[in-house]
């Protein structure tokens, strides 16, 4: 398998207080082309912080980063700002947990979906941008895409807004899509639809996906490999089926034991 992202010994440390606080300690990830890898752990485990570092979105002055994040023969931790910006939102895209805070409330959907094209592909004319945006809105399962194109975020449901975020992330045909808790604010039916959409994107476009979640059942449905994090450390990693059926670390065992199970004895109670 071709490796398109190689993260080695990623270490992130905050210096807000007198004593430095380690957020991520020696994080490693090799992501293959077309692979879907899940990162799981409770809040504060360092999973989202690791993803933000990969996306180049950690710029706090009170923070230090070390290690290597190799992509396209560049170390994203040390490369110049121009090189990093050329990848952000184009070769490497990210979607977040709550689209209402990510979408601009005073800009129409079409304008926002087209934004990566305006930034990274200024040679594309306005008419072509609109056509690409509408087609992408269709591809992510939004009916009446031409109408959605002219709407504002508040006119859409939560599931529709998340699909818009995915459309904006995918319009530049990125090699890597980082999905940071993309289903947390959605009901279970829409969660399943978003997972199916990510599977479709992976299958049809060969996009590599890093899927971050505290929901192990969704990770089990979507990811080929999984990384388990606790307090900034990787405590276990491997093929999803192996980690979930034969967990080795005590923390992983606790996470799996906490997955709700449905008792199908007819009374509808949760086991």
Lowest mean pLDDT among 11-20, 69-78, 254-263: 254-263
Residues 134-162: tens digit of each pLDDT: 999 999 999 899 999 999 999 999 899 99
Residues 155-203: tens digit of each pLDDT: 999 899 999 999 999 999 999 999 999 888 788 888 889 999 999 999 9
Does the structure show a pLDDT above 70 at 267?
no
Query: What mean pLDDT comes out for the span 18-42?
Result: 93
pLDDT at 202: 95
pLDDT at 258: 83
Query: Which is the CATH superfamily of the domain at 3-257?
Result: P-loop containing nucleotide triphosphate hydrolases (3.40.50.300)
pLDDT at 25: 94
Does the structure show a pLDDT above 50 at 270?
no
Does the structure show a pLDDT above 80 at 264?
no
pLDDT at 18: 76
- The more confident residue out of 126 and 1 is 126
Other beta carbons within 10 Å of 39: 27
Please, which pLDDT band fits residue 222 given cuts at 50, 70 and 90?
very high
Global pTM?
A: 0.91
- The more confident residue out of 220 and 15 is 220
- The more confident residue out of 29 and 191 is 29
């Amino acid at each position: 398998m071709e490796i398109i992202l190689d993260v080695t010994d990623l270490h992130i440390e905050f210096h807000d207080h007198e004593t430095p606080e380690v957020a991520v300690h020696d994080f490693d990830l090799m992501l293959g082309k077309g692979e879907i890898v899940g990162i799981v752990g409770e809040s504060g485990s360092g999973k989202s912080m690791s993803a933000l570092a990969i996306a180049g979105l950690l710029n706090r002055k009170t923070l230090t980063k070390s290690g290597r994040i190799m992509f396209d023969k560049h170390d994203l931790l040390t490369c110049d700002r121009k090189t990093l910006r050329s990848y952000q939102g184009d070769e490497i895209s990210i979607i977040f947990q709550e689209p209402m805070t990510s979408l601009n409330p005073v800009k129409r959907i079409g304008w926002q979906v087209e934004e990566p094209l305006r930034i990274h592909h200024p040679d594309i004319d306005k008419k072509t941008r609109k056509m690409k945006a509408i087609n992408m809105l269709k591809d992510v399962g939004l009916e009446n895409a031409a109408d959605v194109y002219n709407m504002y975020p508040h006119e859409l449901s939560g599931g529709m807004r998340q699909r818009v975020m995915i459309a904006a992330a995918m319009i530049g045909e990125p090699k890597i899509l980082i999905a940071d808790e993309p289903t947390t604010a959605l009901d279970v039916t829409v969660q399943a639809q978003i997972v199916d959409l990510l599977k479709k994107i992976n299958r049809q476009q060969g996009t590599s996906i890093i899927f971050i979640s505290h929901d192990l059942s969704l990770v089990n449905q979507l990811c080929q490999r999984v990384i388990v994090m606790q307090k900034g450390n990787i405590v276990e990693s491997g093929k999803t089926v192996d980690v979930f059926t034969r967990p080795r670390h005590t923390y992983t065992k606790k996470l799996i034991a906490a997955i709700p199970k449905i008792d199908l004895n007819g009374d509808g109670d949760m086991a």
